[in-house]
Structure 1
């Protein structure tokens, strides 16, 4: 395996690009095509939400060194397969998932609701982190989110499951204290590992409900405890952290579309340009943002095609704001 894939879309910038690829090149595909080598059975649930991850040169419990593929399922299982043969090396269950119900899934898309987001792997430590939605009886009411840490060599747990229920955010200026309630949240966005902390973003079950809020929790993986929490909407509702499906908060800065001073909701999440690609906003980018704010592009419903910006830009906050256009925000200082 030329390069490991330890996080959603290859890297923390979520480029979806593997610049180290030497085998699956455009020339190779044109001349030889693509052939399926094998299928990986996931028997516990017919639908997967999480992206598979891969790590090369893992020393497994049987004494062999293997390239492994990891897949988390909606049934709350995490699997490891040999990337060469397709052999299942281990499988670990994290607990009973929520049984599919219209209370959280209006279209009854999923049989279970367990691990929705793409896990993240600390390759150096040999640990995979996954967030599982677990319910003792399969009901939404008893569903709670837990962070798991598994050894990639054999699937064993490094720690007990860390319950995220009851996290608290105390906003400034005497605004209402917010308490994290798992039964109201969906954890779809991919996990991110940075500075020995796992970042866990949350959307909500019903975006039009009064309980709709976004949350970002940070877990210290060394101390194995919740380090901090943040709620995007302190008054009003909305502000779920979806990030175009299974994406992630860009690092190191996440800019809320809720005003920290007032807590008023703006029903979306904007990413700072510095966090997205490391480049500060330019005057040209600001002009494009202002033209969008003036209504040059109409609102874009969720899931619809994104309108083109006037000039080709790197994936900064400004271009993302142009795609949304329901709200636009000034670039960070």
Structure 2
């Protein structure tokens, strides 16, 4: 195939996906927010800000000209979640009707609690939307290490299109029709990963980490049940798969953010030390603000929020979590009983 594809966003994940597609013979344009970044990529063949040691293919070209970047009809959206709305409004005048748009960002919008598919539907309703998610550190994808992900869309032809484009080499792509479940799994796991980083730095042990990840998955499932996701989605790559890699890997930004917080750093200081966006720090605000409206209990997410934004100590919140009233492991609302 030689489709002209644009990747919006030259962070780690956008760069890795652009590099992967280019290596497989696609002509790819990588849109950069800053002109100097685009110029450096075109001159040196490397991204000066992200994945700095990775040589990018010659077929990959960078631009900061949004109108130029929008000249195709096939796009990967890899801008930070909290920037998606403003970016789409900026790009809309240059986009054709019925574009193919595959979102690669994970998270919820703070101000509304909306998933990215809902934001896209508001601003570019004609877009044919897909989402790619799963256990996929950009650093490993860029090095062609074996990776498996899932692409979800309500349109069968869209998920097949992206599967055909991306499923090459050691990058394996499965498909799903469960957009809601894939989006929720990708968003909430980042919050649980912050808790995992805190637990690791506190040296709470393997038992605690396993319990944390398991109960974190329960929070993903509760939110998914409320939103109408398919339960088996959370047993797959966008659920437990992504949760595991994010909660146990030192490549995880959210995990590293949690460790930095547990060492006594402020949220601002921890974010600055990362040099990249840790979406969980933003998603947790949306979760806590909107979970009560939805009637969903998210104790781990609430604890992360209180550590990050109310300066509560991790040990005090650990004690609170363990002193909560005992409950069934699988309450009725999480069972998805057919009516």
**Per chain length, whose mean CA-contact separation is higher, i.e. which structure has more relative contact order (CA < 8 Å, sep 6+)?**
2
Normalising by structure 1, report the TM-score.
Answer: 0.29
Larger radius of gyration: 1
TM-score by length of 2: 0.29
Considering fraction of residues, name the structure with more strand.
Answer: 1
